[in-house]
Structure 1
């Protein structure tokens, strides 16, 4: 009876040793994760965040959750900021002076919507920062991970934050022009993108409003280009 028990104990111990030998060590998991961060994220131009398959994630062990911090930020940013902003700008930019006047109420609504997007970005960034702070990382991983976090989280968040004030200024200038025309509608004849104004003083005011609008729109275009470079690398 004792011999059988001893054999059972030895069999269990032997199985445990075999299992440990077949499972990757923490050092191997960390090495695989660092290689992925360097080769698949940092070495790539632009920011198309790669999603490792199940087998690769398994090779990272517990470090897969470290990458999930960055992936979750992107999911939140794309759903609450990037996609809504892209759709908003594509649909809302007026194409003529008549369009500006006719859609003034819609433009006011669009402008107020940027506040919600900015708040959503701040919340996503705060959540990612809190999750990152809770991670325990050896020194060799910490440096690489910090570089990836800067590229994949900090850089796009900064680029979006630059767009918000310029977009707000651009829409404010468009709305100001719409209000100026509405308040002087009897003295202004509209024909698509053309205006006929007989009053010299009013013509000067409208011209100044047009120049301000064009300047603000150029600023927004530059901010969009900065964001595009952060995301696509070009």
Structure 2
């Protein structure tokens, strides 16, 4: 039994999909609200504050990729888990989705039982992470990375990072000078419950470097990445 219902927002322009997902989510005990296009999703996200969003890509008024980008710009939505559910299977659509801050990308047709299992696992993992989390603060160079509050400072300036970018940076900074390949980073940051492309790691590394500088995370050609403590 859930002591407090997790909040999930479903965004799709197909009434049958909205009805199917709402039914299955509510049966699992989640609080659900729906939107029929990206523009409505952005407005609803501000008031509903969902912990997880299931979103289509091809929708009228505003597509899912643009909606995801705008939602990720809201400070209170940085930690919201966003899963795209779409009929589009082209690689460029998947890359665009992750580049705007998506956490997962699933192609239709939807298998409700498998999807519910995945969502339950996501919330279970987040709950375990929160309950076991100790005060974690890494100070290196001009960076201050605080895992308890998900805040990052570079000197006196606070830098906003989406959740996965923050977790990737914290993980690498927690293990300086250790080289990790893409599969290891995918496993440690995204886990077994989410399927993403290996290039997703590259996208996230690039975005982190844009914000903290190029010298902290070094590319080991043909192997992976490592965090270097500046001298």
Structure 2 length as normaliser, TM-score? 0.23
Larger Rg: 1
More strand by percentage: 2
More helix by percentage: 1
Structure 1 length as normaliser, TM-score? 0.23
